[in-house]
Structures are given as C-alpha cells and as structure tokens.
C-alpha cells in the first residue's frame, strides 16, 4: 500500500496532474498553450536528469529518508503550482516534480527488494506501479469537477495533502533501517556500462524505452483524437481516460501475479502483445469503439509494466546494478517517449490524423514482444545474473 501510494503521489499527481489541468490553467493565465506546453515539457527533461541522479543519490542517502524526501519535494512542487501566478513559476514547480519522480520510483524498487519475499516481488512492484494508474482515474475526476464543483487550484492542494499522508504511511510501514544499494567503489559510468553490456540490462533499457513511447504517445493524443477525429463529446473522451486508468489498476494486480508465477518478462511480453493487437484494431477500425479497445490494451501494459521492469532488474542483478538498470530504463522511457510525442505531433500537423503514428506504435509493441520471447528475454531467466 505504501509504495502504491507513493507512485500515486510521484507519478499519478507529480507527472500527470498538470497536463490534465492544462486547459483550466491556460484559461486563468491566458498565456497560450505554447508557453504552458513548454513549461510542462521541462518536466520531461527534468525526469531524465532525475533518472540519472537516482543511482548516485541512493548510494549515499538512507533509503527511507530518501523516499520521504521525494514525497516532500513532490508535495512542495504541487503546493507551488497551487500558488502559481505565471508560467515561469509553473515551470519551476514542474522541474521539481520531474526531478523527484524517478528518484522516488527507483527508491521504491529498492525498498521492495529489501522488504518483500522474492516470490512476491513482481506482484508487489506491479501493484505499486498501479498507483500511477490510480492517479489517472483521480485526475480525470478532478478535471471534470474543477470549474463546477471547485477551483483547479484545490486539486493541487489535495494532491499535496496526499503527499504528506504518504510520508506518514511510509514512516510507519518501514520502521527498520534498510541497506543501501552496495557500492563497489566503481564510477557511475562503469555501472551503467555493465548494464548496457549485459543482455538482460539491455532488455530492461530497450523495453522501458519502447514502453515509454507506445504508452505516452497514445495518452498524449488520446482525447484530442477522440474529439477531433472521432467527433465524440467531452464526456466520452473523458470516459476513455477513466477506462484506461481503471484497467491499469486491475492489470497491475493480475499481471504482477503472473510475473511471480512465471517471469516478469513473460508477463510484459503478454501485455505488449495484447497492446499491439488493440492498437491494430484501432488502426483498422478507426472509430470510437476502436479507440476504446486501444485504451483497454493501454491499461493492460501501462499499469504493471514499470513494476515488472523493476522486478526483473532485482531478480537478475545485485542491488547496485539493479538500481542502475532501473535508472537507465527511466531515462530511456522519458527521452524516447518525448521523441515519440514530438514526431507524432508533426505527423498529425502534416496529415491531419493520428492513424499512421498508431500503426507504428503497434509495430513497435509487437516487435518488443517478440524480442522478449527470444532467449535473451523470457528464456534468459533460467540463470541468475549477478555482476560483481
């Protein structure tokens, strides 16, 4: 519960609430979406930087203190947004949120490694990853009620309150000191090199990058496609977001258990296969019903995949290398995801449709599923990889 609450704070609110509230924020600031979009884009850059910082920071700061510190930073950023009076203040807050989120998730992975039985690791981490999916659901409700029931700023005050609650829960849940990820004295560059030269390490980084682009790109243009190309109502467009988040919550539990019974990579391969099929249905049908199928596939992948990646790293590596693998995976997901958003936006501007990018996303998801089915993927877990 504690780790899932943390993911809700760091990723569900920290990364997703500002984009969800962007129309409300723009209406008050009256600065145009271009300026606000640039402010939000700084969060992706900050996320990549935070991912790189996660490994060296975790080697020096006690894990529970670090986890609570990330919740405090996220809560402060959310409060700053609630008080913001300009895009520049918003951008500064988004940088705090972006830096904090990957460090928080990397620390959560190590906490699970130290406190959870190995046979339940995939279930716990996948369920924790579902906290971000819960954030999607909560954010959708907050967006629909802001402006009629409450002001958009109240949403950020409420989110900051949840951040404070997560500190209390974490402090009570983890009372014993945890070992730091063992430091072998090697430089960070050497640790990252070990990850990238190992087959399983490359698998984690590649799969994280592909997962980032296939889920972030669809999420970014989901409601715009529903409204502009399918001609749906605001309510039906919002329903897609709610369904995607709800399916992600259920999938986090189901695919996590499958990851423990079989392997995390097998579970991810199945999720990617389902998502590729769902995207293919959308490409062929190109209707609201097809979009509904696609968001179901989106939830099945996006809900559990980040926790399953962490479980895979912790199964195969020492703590120090596992932290490095998770960090590099988060860098790949944010950078490749940002590139996908830019490319898809350019295609939509030139062709007027999101159909071609969706087709490419289906191919990428399917290819990654095949990659995981090769000996380097599912089959590689017949041995435990320990890097000294």
Span 281-307, pLDDT tens digits:
999 999 999 999 999 999 999 999 999
Q: In terms of C-beta density within 10 A (0-12 exposed, 13-18 middle, 19 or more buried), how is residue 176 classed? A: exposed
Q: Work out how many domains the chain is built from and give that number.
A: 1
pLDDT in tens, 197-247: 888 899 999 999 999 999 988 988 888 888 889 999 878 888 998 999 999
Question: Does 382 map to a domain?
Answer: no
Predicted TM-score (pTM) of this structure = 0.86
Q: Element (H or E) spanning 261, and its range?
A: helix 234-261
pLDDT tens digit string along 242-277? 999 999 999 999 999 999 998 899 999 999 999 999
Indicate whether 370 belongs to any domain.
yes
Q: Is residue 385 part of a domain?
A: no
In a domain, 383, yes or no: no
Q: Using one digit for the tens of pLDDT, what is the confidence trace for 1-21?
A: 678 899 999 988 988 888 778
Q: Would you say 350 and 226 are in contact if contact means Cβ atoms under 8 Å apart?
A: no
- Evaluate whether residue 140 is within a structural domain: yes
Mean pLDDT of the chain: 87
Which pair of structure tokens corresponds to residue 384? 């435990």
Range of the domain at 192: 2-375
Of 140, 158, 146, 117, residue with least CA distance to 19: 140
CA gap 209, 139 in Å, rounded: 25
CA angle 330, 334, 335 (to 5 degrees): 115
Asked, for residue 21, whether it belongs to a domain, the answer is: yes
Question: If pLDDT is split at 50, 70 and 90, which confidence band does 31 have?
Answer: low
Residue 357 confidence (pLDDT) above 50: yes
Q: Which two tokens stand for residue 175?
A: 């009372």
- Quote the Cα angle for 120-124-126, to 5°: 120
pLDDT of residue 182: 64
Could you tell me if residue 113 is inside a domain? Answer: yes
| Residue in the block written with tokens 């990851």 | 259
Instruction: Say if 384 falls within a structural domain.
Output: no
pLDDT digits (tens, 9 = 90+) for 322-331: 888 999 999 9
Q: What 8-state DSSP symbol labels residue 146?
A: B
DSSP 2-38: HHHHHHIIIIIITTTHHHHHHHHHHHHH-S-HHHHHH
Domain of 68: which CATH number? 1.20.1250.20
**Dihedral over Cα of 329, 332, 337, 340: its sign:** negative
- Cα 278 to Cα 297: distance, rounded to the nearest angstrom: 5
Q: What is the pLDDT of residue 287?
A: 95
* Secondary element (H or E) of residue 57: helix 33-58
190 within 8 A of 40, measured Cβ to Cβ: no
């Amino acid at each position: 519960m504690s780790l899932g609450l943390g993911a809700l704070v760091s990723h569900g609110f920290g990364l997703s609430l500002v984009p969800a509230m962007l129309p409300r924020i723009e209406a008050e600031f009256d600065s145009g979406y271009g300026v606000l979009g640039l402010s939000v884009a700084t969060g992706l850059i900050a996320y990549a930087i935070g991912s790189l910082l996660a490994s060296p920071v975790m080697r020096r700061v006690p894990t529970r203190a670090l986890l609570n510190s990330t919740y405090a930073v996220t809560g402060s950023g959310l409060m700053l947004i609630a008080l913001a009076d300009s895009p520049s203040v918003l951008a500064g807050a988004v940088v705090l949120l972006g830096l904090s989120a990957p460090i928080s998730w990397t620390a959560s992975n190590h906490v699970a490694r130290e406190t959870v039985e190995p046979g339940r690791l995939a279930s716990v981490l996948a369920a924790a990853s579902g906290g971000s999916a819960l954030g999607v659901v909560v954010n959708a409700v907050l967006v629909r009620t802001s402006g009629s029931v409450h002001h958009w700023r109240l949403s950020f005050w409420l989110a900051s309150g949840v951040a404070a609650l997560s500190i209390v829960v974490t402090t009570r849940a983890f009372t014993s000191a945890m070992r730091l990820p063992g430091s072998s004295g090697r430089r960070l560059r050497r640790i990252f090199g070990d990850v990238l030269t190992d087959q399983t390490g490359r698998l984690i980084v590649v799969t994280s990058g592909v997962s980032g682009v296939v889920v972030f790109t669809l999420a970014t243009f989901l409601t715009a496609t529903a409204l502009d190309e399918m001609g749906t109502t605001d309510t039906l467009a919002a329903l897609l977001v709610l369904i995607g988040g709800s399916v992600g919550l259920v999938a986090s539990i189901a695919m996590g258990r499958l990851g423990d019974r079989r392997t995390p990579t097998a579970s991810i391969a199945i999720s990617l296969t389902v998502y590729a099929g769902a995207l293919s249905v959308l490409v062929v049908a190109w209707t609201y019903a097809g979009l509904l199928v696609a968001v179901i596939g989106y939830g099945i992948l996006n809900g559990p995949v980040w926790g399953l990646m962490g479980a895979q790293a912790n199964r195969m590596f020492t703590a120090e290398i596992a932290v490095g693998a998770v960090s590099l995976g988060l860098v790949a997901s944010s950078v490749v995801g940002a590139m996908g958003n830019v490319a898809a936006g350019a295609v939509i501007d030139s062709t007027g449709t999101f159909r071609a990018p969706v087709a490419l996303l289906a191919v990428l998801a399917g290819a990654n599923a095949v990659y995981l089915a090769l000996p380097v993927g599912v089959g590689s877990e017949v041995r435990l990889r320990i890097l000294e």
